[in-house]
Amino acid sequence: MIQARWWTSESDGDITCHLCPHTCRIADGKSGRCRARSNRKGVLYADTYGRTVTVNVDPIEKKPLYHFLPASDILSIGHNSCNLSCRFCQNASISQETVNTSPIPTDKIPGLCRRYSAKSVAFTYTEPVTGLEWVIDVAKVLKDEGIRTVLVTNGYVNPEPLQEAIPFIDAMNIDLKAFTEDFYKSVCGATLQPVLETIRLAVEHCHVELTTLLVTGENDSEAEIRALVDFVADLNPDIPLHFSRYFPQYRMPNPPTPPETLSMARDIARNRMRYVYIGNISIPGGADTVCPQCGNLLVTRSGYSTRIVGLKASTCARCGMSIPGVWDV
Ligand code: SF4
C-alpha cells in the first residue's frame, strides 16, 4: 500500500478520488467503489499497490492482442479490484469480491519475465486503472529492461491520470462493451462517453485493439453494432476489432451468443474495418489475419496456437502492404 495520487480533500474529512469518472467521495475509514482506494485519516491510499490475486504466463493472443508480438508469451498479473460491476463479469470472484492477495515486488517482475521468456507484462484479469500508481511504477522499470507493458482495461479512467500513464504503456486492449449509455448504466454501472474518450486518447499514443462481448439481447442489434463500427472506423479502420462470444456468467442468465450474431457483426464491421476477429468460438478463419489488399493469409490462429505464415517483417510477403501492429518477426 502507498499513498494514492489523483485526489482532493473535502472540508469534512472526506476525500474525492479523481482517478476514474465515478469520482467517489470517500469518508474516513471507507473505500471507494473499486475497493482499491481508502481514506485513512484524511489521506487516500492505493491499497492494492504491489499485490496480486494471480500471476500467470499466457499466450498474448489470450488478452486478446493479435497485432502485438504475436505467438509470444506475456506475464499476466491482476490486482483485486474493479470500478465496474458488469452483470456478465467472467472474473467476478477476483474483481467483485475481496480475496487474499500476495505481494510481488516491482523490481522482481523483469526477472520473472526472463525466467518465463515473456516479452511483455499485462495488467489484466481485473481492472488495472484502479491501481494506476503501480502500473506506472512497474511500466517504468520494464521500459528500462526492454520489456513491454500491456493494459487490458475497461477504459473507465479520467483523461489526466491516463495521460500520465500512457507514455509508459505499449499496448492496450480496451473493452468497448456496447454502444449505448443504457447498457453501460444498467449492465455495467458506468457510462459510455469516458470509455470513448479513453479510446480516442489511447490510439494516439500506443497500439490499441478493441473487444466487444456480444451479450445476447443486450448489445447485439444490427443498429448498435453499426454505430459501434462507425465510431471505430472513423477513428482508424486499421484498429483490430474483436467480437467475442458471451456465455452466461455471474448475474447474467441470457443464453450464449448465437454464432450467426457473431458472423453478422463481423460482416458489418468488414465493410469499414480491415482487421476484424471473432473470439471465444471456433469459426473457420474467424481468428486469422488476412492481407486486406491481396487476400494473402498472414497469420493463422487456432485456439491459442499461432503461426505467422505470410508476413515479411511487418509487411505482406506477397504484395508488400504494410500491416499495422508490432510484429517483431
Ligand atoms: S478509482 Fe475507485 S475510488 Fe477512485 S473514483 Fe474510481 S471507483 Fe472511486
**What does the pLDDT look like over 47-57, one tens digit per residue?**
999 999 999 99
Question: What is the Cα–Cα distance from 283 to 254, expressed in whole angstroms?
Answer: 22
Q: Is the CB of 79 under 6 A from ligand 1?
A: no
Q: What is the pLDDT, as a whole number, of residue 329?
A: 52
Q: What is the pLDDT, as a whole number, of residue 304?
A: 85
Q: What is the pLDDT, as a whole number, of residue 328?
A: 82
This prediction's pTM: 0.96
Name the closest-CA residue to atom 2, ligand 1: 34
Name the closest-CA residue to atom 4, ligand 1: 17
Question: What is the Cα–Cα distance from 233 to 277, expressed in whole angstroms?
Answer: 15
Cα 17 to Cα 24, 88, 152, 268, 326: the distances in Å are 5, 26, 22, 40, 35
Question: What is the Cα–Cα distance from 95 to 7, expressed in whole angstroms?
Answer: 23
3-state secondary structure of 81: coil
Q: Is the CB of 149 under 6 A from ligand 1?
A: no
What radius of gyration, in Å, describes the C-alpha atoms of the chain? 20
Low-confidence residues of the chain: pLDDT under 50 = none
CA of 12 to the centre of ligand 1 (A): 19
Please state the atom number of ligand 1 nearest to the C-alpha of residue 22.
Answer: 5
Q: Is the CB of 22 under 6 A from ligand 1?
A: yes
